[in-house]
A and B are shown apart, each in its own frame.
Chain A
Amino acid sequence: MDNKALILGISAFVAAIPVAIWIPLFFKQSGISKITLAILFFIGILTAPALLGIQYLWGIYPQFDVATLIETSITKVSVMYIVLFVFFGMLEEVIKDFAVRIIDKKTLAVKTVNDALRLSILAALGFSFAENIYYLSQLWTSLSAGELFGVYIFRSGFTMCAHMIFSGIFGYYFGISKFSIDITNQQKLVGKEDFIAKFISNFTNKPLAEGYKEKTILKGLLIAVTLHAIFNYMLQYNVLIPVILFVIGGFLFLRFLLKRKVGHLVLLTDISEKKRSMFAKKDEDVVLELLGMWFKDKRYVDVLHICERLLERDPDNNVVKLFKAKATDQLEGGNAYQKILATVLKDKDDLSTRDRSVIDKYLEKKTS
């Protein structure tokens, strides 16, 4: 075996260690098939060389070399770096997202918002795994063992985590955009006006849900690219403490997103298995309107109860599921209702007594 292949092999081996640590943290109970995960990880790996390939093509066709154009046309170095990092951040995020979209298109793996988030994290892991192999093998001869170890630890811990954060956030918004019809319907019922979605919908002459979809994807891309650019910028100027805090904060944010009830909702169901509503459409619309009104009035306990009963009649209604999850998220976040919620969800057999007591409590509170 020649020296280059050996270095590449060792680099790949050590780069695989953090991947083996991160994957169980996010995919232990994901419910996504292992084959799908393996394929996505592999596609994620290929996205890094794809980016290198683009840069290689710029060498052949310099007229398309955007990076050189930025470097030569912006004289102020700090501004040039910002633009450069935004551009590369965008390129990386779009490429990683592309991998998730391919998998979702082929396997319909994204059934919840969290699925999209997790799959994006996996694509990012594949991407940074390949990147780590590249950097480690490149720096093998030029750095001392100690320096190389430092680079390895930093890249495995912080850079890899940073990639997961950027992609995870973009994935989260991709997930939301995928279920834009249900989410737009729910938002309509609570009277939320989304001006940007409305503008995009008018501009593109598409339904409002499509406008919301496009807006959400753009929002996710914008946040991910901005964070990516800030991260790269800080790295460029070696401000390590903020980088570390930035990554820890981002990681906690990802964990928070993954724990939200809304993210766990299974919004993609097989149409052939979809159960018909046992409630007349006109009557159901009245109740949905009421849900919107009471959600807006922050009557989350009532919303939760109505949703429970409504789902008994119409188990596959995604708008009701969204209301329920959002009300639960709100209740878990608020102190006043926390105890009530604990009793609400404890005993399912005692539904009527429980309902009565909770609504009575609510009315007492309201009238006092």
Chain B
Amino acid sequence: MSKYYTAMGAALTVFMIIIIAYTTALYGAIFPEPVMSEEQLVTTTGEGEIIHSMSGFLWDYRSLDLLMQPFVLFAAASGCAAMLRVIRRRS
């Protein structure tokens, strides 16, 4: 009996995937075009120049997020320490 349900579930999933792919191809081809400013868009040169412009962009424009990320890492490390530390009580 459960094989019947599994087969029905698989058929339903494949059917839904076909429907979603069809509607996406029909309607999803239209996605609004954004207007981006000049500093964001960088022409790809291909040799590895993108790394320097990328890190320059990160430190110039996204410095606030970069400064707050160590605090998130600190919270994660401190939380893992709190959850996994072995406390030996001195009697």
Partners in one complex: no
Where the two chains meet, the residues of A that have a C-beta atom closer than 8 Å to any C-beta of B are none
Where the two chains meet, the residues of B that have a C-beta atom closer than 8 Å to any C-beta of A are none
